[in-house]
């Protein structure tokens, strides 16, 4: 019986929801076409490529009964791009996040991976050719001069500048003067950053405490017997969760399986990789994150599909590593909002990990000192919670002191530093220890204004104030990244009295250097970590053996609170500890508690005692008080009551609809259409909040309105898939399933 392949067409011009078409597998390709292949086909009259997503048999009678002619697959461009299980995952992602399959799939495939073959134009005859138009002759003459008598389409475009080149090429094809051929590109060299070479150092033994061993044995037995597939380890900071992860990885690798280890930030992979190499010197470890070069991502992808025991270590996107024999997924610091993408289709790596573990029959282990409220609630209900209440060496959690900055002001201290924090920093410097100072705001000043007329500098494209950056003496919008020069005069009143207000990490760095000249100051924020080797430079400074006798102060944003393990840190200072509490978001309190608790946990992780200082103008706030006591259970008890009272996750499912347009009136009118449509099509109880302008109303020149939906399940949200088509909306429309913020 003839074989038919369902092919997902890779065509930007195909705007319809129908992207999958049937193609006959030609006799010369039988036994070569599989799910996951990239193939060459004709789509209409144009050559195109597509992904094989299914293969089935059909009878000759059924073929003859079709009212159209089945085209054949022309050639195979790439074998084994992904497995059947990987396709199942992406089909689910596409449906769950209301994104078409092609967009979802191409969003994760490395740029250039599909370009293993390039299309070229080849000259078929060498004799003199007559009766050609001047433009056709121009193409033929160019091909004649080529050594191989073949050139890429892009090269011909660049040399001829013919606007109607596709028509000219088609005419020459019809005259049998040229043909299109597919040429394999030269193989790329393997890069060290993508694949860490296997080392020959002796393997370090993983020693567990009795409590760690107890948790590991539960996980091991569940893995062997496939009793339970998902667990949450809540372990206080420094309790040794990583050692349990490593022991479990060891077990999984011995069985020939593969591991994905997720971290919330790229920056953390450098530190963890060094530790991992000591315990797994003979294993292949692949880094997987957005800062890799295209060629490095391609090499990592190709290594994954070889079906070999290996460890994938990376940030959010590593959940999509195309491993065919996955045995274990670990998500460390699972509470972190970085696991949720801020761009369409707004996927959450934690949600996808849960689905992937089911499809691949793999174990999923979450870990955090401050688990997300939703995940902790689920673990309690499923009896899958494992707890470590003490630090690894039984050294105590650091003492936390709350400093009331209102009182500091009343007593004449106008410095960034409270008197106690200044004293403690100096003590650390005298003892040659390390200090971490956290201020969760980048830049030098929070905003820039005129002291005479009050004019404030706002971004032209976004409805947000510009942040002053000392480097380059510029103002930057932290939402669209547009850069502005700092003007000498006020645009309104021409006054020269321009001043920045508030302070960010750059100003903090300046103040630290001015107040503590005897120490090395290192800054870590997004401005630093976004540089390709920025985090490595920071880490080398902090851990280099020559630095052991130096006093060092690490200052930064929330990055410094994420999993950094430095033995010499004995003091952590948090400035403006209340700053995250006043965001219009149901999870603002949760994120603030997590940030403060995690930051405090960086102190006193060795035999040296640790101390933490929270500087705040809201010392009586309950969130700050609970964080100062490392009291997660107290926080959870209060928070879960509030969530239930106001019908927020885990008691509800959320969907956020954002509509944006360059025309403000259009955005407002069309969001009303969306609201009316949803209200008319309710088939169960759904709470609708809005429509209303987004907190950041204008972003990159687009005016934004949103609607928030709350429901007991996600079934209702399926009607959102067809919103844009049914309502013929011209504005941009995005649907964010289970949003984490409302900005």
Scan for tokens 């404030």, then name that residue. Answer: 456
Neighbour tally for 14: CB within 10 Å: 16
Q: Which residue has the higher pLDDT, 302 or 377?
A: 377
Place of tokens 């939402």: 479
Please tell me which residue, 113 or 689, carries the higher pLDDT value.
689
pLDDT band at 128 (very low <50, low <70, confident <90, very high): low
Q: Return the pLDDT at 80.
A: 87
- Report whether pLDDT(198) > 70: no
State the first-to-last Cα distance of the chain, in angstroms, to the nearest integer. 56
Q: What is the mean pLDDT of residues 316-337?
A: 95
pLDDT per residue as tens digits for the range 572-600: 999 999 988 888 789 999 999 999 999 99
**Spatial distance between the Cα atoms of 576 and 503, rounded to a whole number of angstroms:** 10
Q: Return the CATH class of domain 117-184.
A: mainly alpha
Q: What average pLDDT score do residues 29-51 get? A: 88
**pLDDT value, residue 15:** 45
Mean pLDDT of 720-734: 82
Can you tell me which residue has the tokens 């649907």? 735
Task: Say whether domain 653-737 belongs to CATH 3.30.310.10.
Answer: no
Asked if pLDDT for residue 192 goes beyond 70, the answer is no
Q: Tell me whether the CATH fold assigned to 195-388 matches the one assigned to 399-444+503-642.
A: yes
**Is the per-residue pLDDT at 179 higher than 60?**
yes
pLDDT in tens, 245-296: 999 999 999 999 999 999 998 777 777 888 899 899 889 999 888 777 777 8
Whether the predicted pLDDT of 451 surpasses 60? yes
Alpha-carbon distance of 502 to 448, in angstroms, equals: 9
| Domain boundaries defined on the chain | 3-81, 117-184, 195-388, 399-444+503-642, 446-492, 653-737
d(CA 703, CA 668): 9
Query: For residue 683, what pLDDT is reported?
Result: 65
Share of the chain above pLDDT 90, in %: 49
Q: How, if at all, do strands 284-288 and 195-196 pair?
A: antiparallel
* pLDDT category of residue 105 using cuts at 50, 70 and 90: confident
User: Does residue 674 have a pLDDT over 80?
Assistant: yes
Architecture of domain 399-444+503-642: 3-Layer(aba) Sandwich (3.40)
What integer is the mean pLDDT of 162-168? Answer: 80
Residue closest to 616 by CA, chosen among 401, 398, 397: 401
CATH 3.40.50.300 correct for 195-388: yes
- What is the pLDDT of the chain when averaged over all its residues? 87
Query: What is the arithmetic mean of pLDDT over 41-69?
Result: 84
Q: Give percent of the chain above pLDDT 70.
A: 93
Average of per-residue pLDDT across 397-411: 95
Average pLDDT over residues 623-627: 97
String of b and e for 299-311 (b: at least 16 CB within 10 Å)?
bbbbbbbeeebbb
What would the mean pLDDT of 538-542 be, rounded to a whole number? 81
With 50 as the cut, is the pLDDT of residue 609 above it? yes
pTM for this prediction: 0.85
Q: Which of 113-122, 293-302, 639-648, 727-736 has the highest mean pLDDT?
A: 639-648
pLDDT at 197: 41
Among 456-465, 609-618, 677-686, the range of highest mean pLDDT: 609-618
């Amino acid at each position: 019986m003839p074989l038919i392949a369902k092919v997902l067409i890779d065509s930007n011009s195909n705007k319809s929801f129908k992207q999958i078409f049937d193609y006959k597998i030609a006799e010369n390709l039988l036994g070569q076409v599989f799910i996951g292949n990239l193939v060459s086909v004709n789509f209409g009259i144009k050559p195109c490529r597509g992904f094989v997503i299914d293969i089935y048999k059909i009878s000759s009678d059924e073929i003859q009964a079709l009212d159209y002619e089945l085209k054949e697959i022309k050639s195979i461009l790439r074998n084994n791009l992904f497995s059947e299980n990987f396709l199942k995952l992406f089909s689910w992602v596409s449906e769950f996040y209301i994104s078409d399959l092609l967009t979802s799939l191409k969003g994760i495939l490395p740029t250039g991976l599909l370009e293993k073959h390039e299309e070229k134009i080849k000259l078929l005859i060498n004799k003199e050719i007559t009766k050609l138009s001047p433009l056709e002759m121009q193409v033929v003459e160019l091909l004649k001069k080529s050594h191989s008598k073949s050139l890429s389409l892009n090269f011909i475009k660049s040399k001829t500048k013919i606007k109607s080149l596709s028509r000219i090429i088609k005419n020459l094809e019809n005259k049998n003067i040229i043909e299109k051929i597919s040429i394999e590109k030269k193989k790329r060299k393997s890069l060290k950053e993508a694949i860490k070479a296997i080392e020959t150092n002796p393997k370090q033994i993983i020693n567990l405490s009795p409590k760690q061993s107890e948790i590991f044995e539960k996980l091991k037995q569940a893995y062997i017997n496939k009793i339970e597939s998902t667990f949450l380890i809540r372990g206080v900071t420094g309790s040794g969760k990583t050692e349990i992860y490593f022991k479990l990885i060891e077990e999984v690798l011995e069985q020939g399986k593969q591991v994905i280890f997720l971290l919330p930030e790229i920056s953390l992979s450098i530190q963890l990789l060094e530790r991992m190499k000591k315990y797994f010197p003979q294993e292949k470890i692949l880094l997987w994150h957005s800062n890799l070069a295209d060629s490095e991502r391609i090499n990592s992808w190709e290594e994954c599909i070889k079906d070999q025991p290996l460890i994938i270590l990376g940030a959010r996107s590593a959940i999509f590593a195309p491993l065919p024999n996955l045995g274990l997924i670990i998500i460390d610091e699972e509470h972190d909002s970085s696991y949720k993408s801020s761009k369409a289709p707004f996927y959450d790596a934690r949600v996808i990990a849960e689905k992937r573990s089911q499809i691949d029959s793999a174990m999923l282990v979450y870990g955090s000192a401050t688990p997300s409220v939703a995940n902790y609630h689920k673990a309690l209900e499923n009896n899958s919670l494992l707890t470590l209440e003490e630090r690894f060496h039984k050294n105590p959690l650091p003492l936390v002191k709350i400093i009331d900055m209102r009182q500091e002001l009343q007593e004449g201290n106008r410095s960034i530093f409270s008197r106690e924090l200044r004293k403690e920093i100096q003590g650390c410097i005298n003892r040659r220890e390390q200090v971490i100072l956290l201020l969760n705001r980048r830049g030098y000043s929070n905003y820039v204004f005129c002291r005479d007329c009050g004019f404030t500098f706002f971004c032209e494209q976004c409805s947000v104030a510009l942040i002053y950056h000392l480097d380059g003496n510029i103002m930057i919008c932290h939402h669209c990244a547009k850069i502005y020069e700092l003007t000498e005069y006020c645009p309104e009143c021409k006054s020269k009295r321009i001043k920045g207000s508030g302070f960010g990490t750059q100003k903090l760095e300046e103040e630290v250097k001015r107040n503590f000249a005897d120490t090395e100051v290192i800054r870590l924020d997004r401005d630093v970590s976004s540089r390709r080797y920025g985090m490595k430079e920071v880490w080398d400074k902090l851990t280099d053996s020559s630095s052991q006798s130096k006093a060092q102060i690490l200052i930064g944003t929330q990055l410094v609170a994420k999993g950094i393990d430095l033995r010499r840190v004995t003091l952590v200072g948090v400035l403006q500890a209340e700053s995250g509490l006043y965001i219009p978001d149901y999870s603002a309190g949760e994120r603030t508690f997590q940030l403060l608790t995690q930051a405090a946990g960086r102190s006193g992780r060795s035999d040296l005692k640790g101390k933490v200082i929270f500087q705040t103008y809201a010392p009586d706030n309950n969130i700050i008080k609970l964080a100062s006591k490392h009291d997660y259970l107290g926080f959870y008890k209060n928070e879960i009551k509030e969530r239930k009272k106001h019908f927020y996750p885990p008691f509800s499912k959320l969907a956020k609809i954002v509509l944006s347009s360059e025309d403000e009136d259009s955005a407002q009118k069309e969001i009303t259409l969306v609201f009316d449509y949803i209200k008319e099509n309710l088939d169960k109880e759904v709470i609708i909040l809005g429509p209303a302008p987004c907190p950041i109303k204008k972003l990159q020149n687009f005016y934004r309105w949103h609607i928030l939906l709350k429901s007991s399940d996600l079934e209702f949200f399926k009607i959102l898939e067809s919103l844009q088509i049914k309502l013929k909306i011209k504005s941009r429309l995005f649907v964010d399933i289970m949003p984490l913020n409302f900005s």
